[in-house]
A and B are shown apart, each in its own frame.
Chain A
């Protein structure tokens, strides 16, 4: 045997690791209720604050979607909802869900809670800045909510906020404070996120524990890390477009506003380029899809591995795929603009890059499925959600391939097919991961399980219900039902069956929404009365489950930081007594484990 054999590792020759002299991190230990729970510097509390705020504003967006669905199917039930309100609800629903819920929850919520724990750090590298980051995000949400109460209401420009219509008087909230508050809120959000992103990146790069190399990190951390890098490149485009559009709206500049006649009068603007806004917006907007998707990819990889008791198939390939998807996500943005009148060669380029990005994405799907192959699959609730994610993501992804082709996109672009596509791929799929992740890490956060019966009911209603909502929408799109329309009624141009189908979709949407109320009830009751969880109840290998206390206290790891000896996927190792070996278990503690045969 060579010196580099597994025997050396197993017999403990690698256990003699010299002590690492690292100055202890200065942590601010809270002394009062306010500094412990409100202006708190502990990343775990900040993560929960992010999650509560994001879910709260997400519930508002959920109710808005109910209103929209009722208007489309049973308008007599929502007589207060006129065209202006409909467009305002569409806009706020979209923006809240994409930015204020999904982005904030994945990066602010899971990022804060999991990064320090998973990499073996005591906290984020800049805890104070981390706290400020949350409160800036909170301010952004407050400004957004304020727009509901100003004269003229919130903006109804659609979540893409395209000028010129976003700031013209015919658009709801266009000539009032609605659009301005939305733009200011987004700008504040970006500032807050940059503070948070600084922490996520630096903690992952610089504050990992001894032995935790980048290639030993769980894929959850890789997903959040890459998504944060993407956000740091992409969000400046959003803030730049927000600043310029705010100036067009308030000061009458013409960055994006062309000369137009508004209600018979020549507007004060001239010469601006609306297409420039679209480029800027989608330079942010498309990476935004992956800012949401990459953390979901990472988390689902870990859920599948833990609950299938098998190491993730092709770990390195999974990391590469995350990085490649991240890089490619910056060269596909104009596939959202095929109908903007762009040069056909431009469209050809972006169609090609869009199809290329499907390769690493498909690779990830294959690896998830191969991980399941011959695994010891435990059909726990997190696993159910993870499996549902794979199916949903494949469904949504395939329709993405349709829409990535210019010739297919052009006729489908303004139909419900697009609504179905993006809800499946970046609405339902990431939300399924969020649910799976909450069921998975709830025992760590509270020390208790969520109620299983309620959880399974919640899963099946959510999973099947989502398909009942969005599958028919594909059909609606194919038969030509246009999206963005306030009223749906029988017309000679559209099949009459679409009317009853719309009613069916609405009933399904309300049912799925109500199932989320049950989920919230489960969270509230289980956090107090749920079945107590033993330490590391899922028998996972990653460090967050190896803390001295459960739930982990401030500082995470007690007196000494853990030392990492292996990757996070040593499941079902031949020769080992148990079917998992945590990352901080030294080789000499599992001498018979044949890691090389895993």
Chain B
């Protein structure tokens, strides 16, 4: 069990102190008790969060200007949101099955998740089409522009997730070829990212809905 130390404890260590030397010599060189995959994913989610937060800051700054006109939220957006929520729920189920080594079911769940993701993306495109048909162009109003930017960037993140989904699916397709633990690990990472994308969408959707 690794002893947890705060950043202040860490920065106040005296590497020349004999008592500290004894502790330091036993150090295994690992700072955080997480494997590199999980930590890397957290890292990516952290950078993405800053990215979206900055967009939200500019959104809240821009919306106070008098030319801001609120855009209607097509009902299809609600359907898309439900699809994304459902895909996250399926992923939770896939994770449970993966822990029980039921990879055939996991494979089916992943296929369903992929289908839902594509359905979500197509649904977003339909929303765009609907808005454009009704005359809500990107350059007409900053509120329109933000809608198109938010949906595009979220979709780009989802496409990135789909790349990892393909990697996960390949591993699950034939789990005997590689270590089972690695397959489970990949499923878990993909699931975390999926939930993250849902959270991002809910924040963005909520922002556009209630502002």
Contacts and interface: CB of A to CB of B under 8 A. Distances in A.
Interface of A: 4-6, 8-9, 14, 17, 20, 22, 119-120, 125-126, 194, 198, 201-202, 205-216, 232-233, 236-237, 239-240, 243-244, 247, 251-255, 268, 270-273, 276, 280, 315-316, 319-320, 323, 563-567, 595-596, 598
B202 interface: no
A205 B31 contact: yes
Interface stretch (B19-27, B87-95, B98-106, B187-195): B19-27
B65 A273 contact: yes
8 contacts: A17-B26, A206-B36, A207-B36, A214-B31, A253-B138, A255-B58, A270-B67, A316-B11
A271 B12 contact: no
Given A126-B36, A212-B27, A255-B142, A566 B21 contact: yes
A209 B58 contact: no
Contacts of B22: 4, 8-9, 14
A271 B17 CA distance: 61
A4 B54 contact: no
Contact of B31 (A9, A206, A323): A206
A126 B18 contact: no
Contacts, number: 153
Given A202-B40, A210-B27, 8 more contacts: A8-B18, A9-B22, A194-B44, A205-B32, A208-B29, A243-B149, A244-B58, A565-B21
A240 B139 contact: no
B178 interface: no
A236 B39 contact: no
B139 A252 contact: yes
Interface stretch (B45-53, B71-79, B122-130, B169-177): B45-53
Contact of A211 (B29, B43, B46): B29
Nearest to A217: B15
Contact of B24 (A207, A211, A240): A211
A244 B149 contact: yes
B61 A276 contact: yes
B47 A236 contact: yes
Contact of A255 (B15, B26, B62): B62
B210 interface: no
Contact of A320 (B11, B15, B36, B66): B11
A198 B11 contact: no
Contact of B58 (A125, A194, A240, A315): A240
A209 to B, nearest CB: 5
B29 A280 contact: no
Contacts of A595: 16
Interface residues of B, number: 45
Contacts of A270: 67
A523 to B, nearest CB: 34
A213 B22 CA distance: 12
B14 A316 contact: yes
A276 B58 contact: yes
Nearest to A16: B25
Nearest to A5: B18
Contact of A237 (B31, B40, B54): B54
Contacts of A209: 29
B10 interface: yes
A20 B30 CA distance: 12
B39 A268 contact: no
**Residue of B25, B40, B44, B68 contacting most chain A CB atoms (<10 Å):** B25
Going nearest first, the 4 A-B pairs with the smallest beta carbon separation are A208-B29, A252-B139, A271-B67, A4-B19
Interface in B112-157: 138-139, 142, 145, 149, 153
Contacts of A319: 11
Nearest to A195: B44
B29 A6 contact: no
A43 B65 CA distance: 49
B108 interface: no
B11 A323 contact: yes
Contacts of A207: 29-30, 36
A206 B30 contact: yes
Nearest to B142: A254
A34 B41 CA distance: 30
B55 interface: yes
B137 to A, nearest CB: 9
Contact of B47 (A202, A232, A253, A598): A232
A272 B68 CA distance: 10
Nearest to A17: B25
B54 A280 contact: yes
B138 A202 contact: no
A570 B29 CA distance: 20
**Residue of A9, A215, A247 contacting most chain B CB atoms (<10 Å):** A215
Contacts of A280: 54, 58
A98 B61 CA distance: 29
A201 B47 CA distance: 13
A215 B36 contact: no
B179 to A, nearest CB: 11
B10 A215 contact: yes
A504 B24 CA distance: 56
A213 B46 CA distance: 25
A206 B32 contact: yes
A597 to B, nearest CB: 11
Contacts of A206: 29-32, 36, 39
Contacts of B138: 247, 251-253
Contacts of B62: 255, 272-273, 276
A271 B65 contact: yes
A125 B37 CA distance: 10
A201 B43 contact: yes
A270 to B, nearest CB: 6
A205 B65 contact: no
Contacts of A272: 62, 142
